[in-house]
Amino acid sequence: MEQFLQQMASGLANGAIYACVALALVMIFVSTDHINFAQGEMAMFSTYLSWQLMTWGANFWVAFVAAVLLSFVLGVVIERVVLRPLHTAPVLSIVVVFIGLLAICNSVAGAIWSYLLKEFPSPFPKTDFGIPGLIGPHQLGVVVITLLVLTALFVFFRYTPLGLAMRAAAQNPQMARLVGVRVDWMLALGWGLAAAVGAVAGIMVAHIVYLDPNMMGGILLYAFASALVGGISNPGGAVAGGFIVGVLENLVAYLGSQLEKTTGVYIIGNGEKLTVALIIVIFVLTVKPAGLFGRVVVKRV
């Protein structure tokens, strides 16, 4: 039982990470209808930035804030420079450009910092943090930090004029433009925010999976699953989806290991995590494309 609770708790911690990346994906999706395949690699790149700052002697939190701000700027620049000219391009072009971004981020990070695994520190005190026997200090810290980030974003979008303008630009660009919102800059800001939230996720997860250029591959797939489960057009849904998928992932692995212990038959375990994500993605896309909380898109023919 205790092991079960532990698994659930670490599922929540993973879920927090998925929730962040899923939220970043959703932020770009609602405003542009694009699925950002490079989101994971952008987050990985930001994580390397913070690692570099730390090796230059910066404090963890200083490096954290600096990397998040840098990612914000990079996100804005990518939107303005790379994606803006392709605004009316066909879907295939957009997908290809995202894959190009993914390849560039991955290979440049590998070129600068090498493909060797690096240890990444945890900022949370080992003692008097976390609940012994249930959740470790880093995992609890991850959950707390992501919840803080999500609350901040919620407050930003709900209660500030800029947040309102961004929501308007995403929901109805033409009307927003008529009332004086600079829609294209709002899209760029959305990209920046997405990159920043992704950076938070990357920096938080690097302590768990170790830092290397391919660390976000599996996490991105889980984030896709989370965003889809929650409904890819619903930010709150994406966060809920993240936690659901995180817990589900660990639950499946736990049940698999219990099954192996009791009956000796191996069906599923940690080695099949990505397959589970694939099944979730295809299942949701084909059976309930709107997800749990998304709105059903009705197309007029």
Partner 1 sequence: MANATAAAALAPRRTWIWWVIGIAAVVPLLRGVVPDIVSDYRLFLVTTMMIAAIAVLGLNLLTGFNGQISLGHGAFYAVGAYVAAVAMEQANCPYWLTIPLAAVICFGFGFLFGLPALKLEGHYLALATFALALAVPQMLKYKWLEGLTGGVQGIVLSKPSAPFGLPLSEDQWLYYFTLTVMVVLYWAAHNILNSRSGRAMKAIRDHQMAADTMGIDTARYKTVTFGISAAYTGIAGAISASVIAFVAPDSFTFFLSIKFLIGLVVGGVGSLLGSVLGGIFYVLVDNSAQSLAQFIKRDLGLAFDLSAYTVFGVLLILLMYFMPQGLAGGVIRLWRAIRR
Site of interaction with partner 1 (CB under 8 A): 33-35, 37, 82, 85-86, 89, 91-97, 99-108, 110-112, 114, 217-218, 220-221, 224-225, 266, 269, 271-275, 277-278, 281-282, 285-286, 289, 301
Please tell me the distance from the alpha carbon of residue 58 to that of residue 125, in angstroms, as a whole number: 18
Pick from 5, 38, 10: nearest CA to 270: 10
CB of 8 to partner 1, least distance (A): 23
Q: CB of residue 275 vs partner 1: minimum separation in angstroms?
A: 5
Nearer to partner 1, 83 or 204 (CB): 83
CB of 53 to partner 1, least distance (A): 18
CB of 71 to partner 1, least distance (A): 18
CB 186 within 8 A of CB 31: yes
Compute and round to an integer the Cα radius of gyration of the chain. 19
Cα-Cα-Cα-Cα dihedral sign, residues 102, 107, 108, 113: positive
Closer residue to partner 1 in complex, CB, 3/275: 275
Phi and psi (nearest 5°) for 15?
A: -60, -35
Q: Which is nearer to partner 1, 8 or 290 (CB)?
A: 290
Write down the least CB distance from residue 95 to partner 1, Å: 5
Burial (0-12, 13-18, 19+ Cβ within 10 Å), 146? buried
Q: In terms of CB distance, is 69 or 96 closer to partner 1?
A: 96
